[in-house]
A and B are shown apart, each in its own frame.
Chain A
Amino acid sequence: MNTSAAGLSHPGEEARHATVAVTDLFREHHLELVRLALVMVGDQETAEDVVQDAFERLYLGWSRLREPSNALAYARSSVINRCRSVMRRSAVARRHAPKLAGIPDTGAAGTGSASEDYADLADALLLLPRRQREVLVLRYYADLDVAEVAATLRIAPSAVRSTCTRGLAALARVLGEDRG
């Protein structure tokens, strides 16, 4: 176990440790987290902003971190959380966008024509309720097991399983398929 943070008491030393640790984490996992955010929000620029915010928060909150060895899990949760805020904000923006401006309704787009194009399932995912989207991305993109997804989203493992089932069924329905 990483216990190095526990022995640090000098504020300067602590800050230096945070810098080193966050830099290492950034170097190793930045791309991975941007990709996670990208599949969540569907837009690379937003995904980059989300991940940058998450790293800033991680750095500022490093001293409060109770288990620095698990900082990746914290960063992942933070990214999911930020994505959630972004999606919520964009939903509000869509709701208030002038209808006559010809802004396409993304909520209905793509549901009618399911093709074999790979983009369809990733797009269809954006139509699902937030919780289902998060569970499916963590399960099938991040390859986390049920317990890890439960810990990341702070929900019960049984809720992960049922949400996953519902999400897959909803995806099948969106694509006009039967799960079988």
Chain B
Amino acid sequence: MTDIEERLRHDLKKRSERARPGSIRPLRVPSASRRSRARYRLASARRSRAARVLAPAAAMVAVIAIIAGVWLAGQPGGKRPAVGSSAGMPKYYVTLNTVLRGKSGSPALPGTMAGVGPGRVTAMVRDSLTGALLDSVLIAHVPRGEYSTAIATWITAAANDRVFAIGVASHAFILRLQSDGQVASLSPLPAAMSKAISLGPALLSPAGTELAFTNSTQRQLIVVTLATGAIRSWKARPGFVDALQWQGTGNEVLVLSGAQPGPPDQYRLLNVSGTGGHVFADSRLVYKWPFFRSGYNLSNPLITPSGNLLFLAHSVYTKRGGVETTSCRVVEFSPGARRLLRVLYRAHAPSSTVGYFPPCGVVSVGPSGLNLLIEDFGHGTGYGRLDGGRITALPGWAYEDRYPQAAW
């Protein structure tokens, strides 16, 4: 533990001890509590009555919309994104769904709690164009009584849309798909390798042959060759490093790092073709982060394989007329010009429906750089495909998930 961590712990404890049992005033009587409770119950009853009445109608509308969507998708001049924009897009995306039979919190309630086992973690293979479920495979059983907060999961994809690496707790797996999207194999990585990566998330190289991840203190970037188990490492001391994305053919990794003294605020391309070394010595600056202290919720930016565009999402909370709204924008930056090029997508959602989730985030950039897989909680389905600024909702996010995750 560093000095500042110790001091912080100590100072916070001291500060908190200003509140002593004797110094806390007695509870005030809630204003109009009976009335508000009655109003609350009435509202709940209305909601449930409305749900009962409207559910069949909503289901009918949804069915009609799906049929119309499928029909339109089959039409050459339909309203789906132009073929050009989805060319080069990965054919499949895989979602990692943690479904626990012990009840888990609903995202409609801010601050709801973790789910609890028994349950299972399943990988679901879906078609990137239509979202259709192609295959699924059980990754792990969650034991009875195990809290979802104890199960760290991550998933990452190679550029060939056939190889995925998956982590569940301290186990890591390689998932391979056939050309038609069916699961070809799921093989566990050796225990030693899994344990090293267990903190995750790890990043699979474009060829699906290497995994990059940082150690627990984020002072080191480690690259493991899957076939041989050989390890190469790049130290970041006295700075920090966070691996974000492999670049191009797999010789470089986009990392977030920083020079001392100061926070990690630089996006750098680290050359990992060598045998190891130092993050700063072996990398070049791509982008200096301008929003370090903005207070916005910013997603980690992803960069195109060519390195000339950055994508990221940021969200802002606003409150108007007593209603808290979370707004989110997916934007495109030019690292070269260091400026915002355009806003690709905007989403708004009442904070009550998205809870503490930022309503959107960039999950993955397609190899062509034209398509983004995004998380889009304000949209309803959880995932979305962004083709040149046009959003297509994709299924796959289960409400039972603690950490909805996907990759393509």
A-to-B contact residues, CB < 8 Å: 1, 30-31, 34-36, 38-39, 42, 44-45, 47-48, 52, 56, 60-61, 64, 66-67, 70-71, 73-74, 76-78, 80-81, 84-85, 88, 118-122, 125, 128-131, 136-137, 140-141, 147-148, 150-158, 161-162, 165-166, 168-173, 175, 177-180
Nearest neighbor of B404 in chain A, beta-carbon distance: A156
Residue with the highest number of chain B CB atoms closer than 10 Å, among A31, A74, A119, A179: A179
A88: B residues at CB distance < 8 A: 317, 319
CA distance A74 to B356 in the complex (A): 12
CA distance A158 to B154 in the complex (A): 10
Q: Are A178 and B109 in contact (CB under 8 A)?
A: no
Partner among B16, B33, B294 whose Cβ is within 8 Å of the Cβ of A141: B16
A78: B residues at CB distance < 8 A: 110-111
Does B116 make an interface contact (CB < 8 A)?
yes
Q: Are A121 and B12 in contact (CB under 8 A)?
A: yes
Q: Are A34 and B27 in contact (CB under 8 A)?
A: no
Known interface pairs A35-B16, A157-B200; 15 further A-B residue pairs with C-beta atoms within 8 A, sorted by A's residue number: A38-B19, A60-B40, A67-B114, A73-B111, A77-B110, A81-B111, A121-B8, A122-B12, A128-B293, A129-B294, A151-B149, A156-B201, A162-B218, A173-B263, A179-B261
Nearest neighbor of A92 in chain B, beta-carbon distance: B319
Does B240 make an interface contact (CB < 8 A)?
yes
Residue with the highest number of chain B CB atoms closer than 10 Å, among A48, A66, A151, A178: A151
Q: Are B262 and A67 in contact (CB under 8 A)?
A: no
Q: Are B19 and A35 in contact (CB under 8 A)?
A: yes
CA distance A178 to B264 in the complex (A): 13
* Residues in B100-147 with C-beta less than 8 Å from chain A: 102-107, 109-116, 145
Does B357 make an interface contact (CB < 8 A)?
yes
A61: B residues at CB distance < 8 A: 109
Q: How many A-B residue contacts, CB cutoff 8 Å?
A: 198
Q: Are A166 and B292 in contact (CB under 8 A)?
A: yes
A84: B residues at CB distance < 8 A: 317
Given contacts A88-B317, A173-B263, A178-B260, contact A67 B113 (CB under 8 A): yes
A85: B residues at CB distance < 8 A: 319, 324
Identify whether the interface residues of A are mostly helix, strand, loop, or mixed: helix
Does B21 make an interface contact (CB < 8 A)?
yes
Identify whether the interface residues of B are mostly helix, strand, loop, or mixed: loop
Q: Are B23 and A141 in contact (CB under 8 A)?
A: no
Partner among B17, B292, B297 whose Cβ is within 8 Å of the Cβ of A35: B17
**How many Å from the CB of A59 to the closest CB on chain B?**
9
Q: Are B24 and A34 in contact (CB under 8 A)?
A: yes
Q: Are A1 and B116 in contact (CB under 8 A)?
A: yes
**How many Å from the CB of B313 to the closest CB on chain A?**
12
B-to-A contact residues, CB < 8 Å: 2, 4-5, 7-19, 21, 23-25, 27-28, 30, 33, 36-37, 40, 102-107, 109-116, 145, 148-152, 154, 200-201, 218, 238, 240, 242, 256, 258, 260-264, 292-297, 300, 317, 319, 324, 355-358, 402-403
Partner among B15, B18, B356 whose Cβ is within 8 Å of the Cβ of A77: B356
B112: A residues at CB distance < 8 A: 66, 74, 77
Nearest neighbor of B260 in chain A, beta-carbon distance: A178
Partner among B5, B104, B263 whose Cβ is within 8 Å of the Cβ of A66: B104
Given contacts A52-B28, A179-B238, contact A154 B357 (CB under 8 A): yes
**How many Å from the CB of B340 to the closest CB on chain A?**
20
B114: A residues at CB distance < 8 A: 67, 70, 73, 151
A64: B residues at CB distance < 8 A: 109
A125: B residues at CB distance < 8 A: 8, 12
CA distance A101 to B27 in the complex (A): 34
Q: Are A169 and B264 in contact (CB under 8 A)?
A: yes
**How many Å from the CB of B96 to the closest CB on chain A?**
12
Shortest beta-carbon contacts, A-B, top 4? A77-B111, A154-B356, A35-B16, A169-B263
CA distance A64 to B261 in the complex (A): 48
A36: B residues at CB distance < 8 A: 16
A169: B residues at CB distance < 8 A: 240, 258, 262-264
Nearest neighbor of A45 in chain B, beta-carbon distance: B25
Q: Are B10 and A118 in contact (CB under 8 A)?
A: yes
B201: A residues at CB distance < 8 A: 156, 158
B324: A residues at CB distance < 8 A: 85
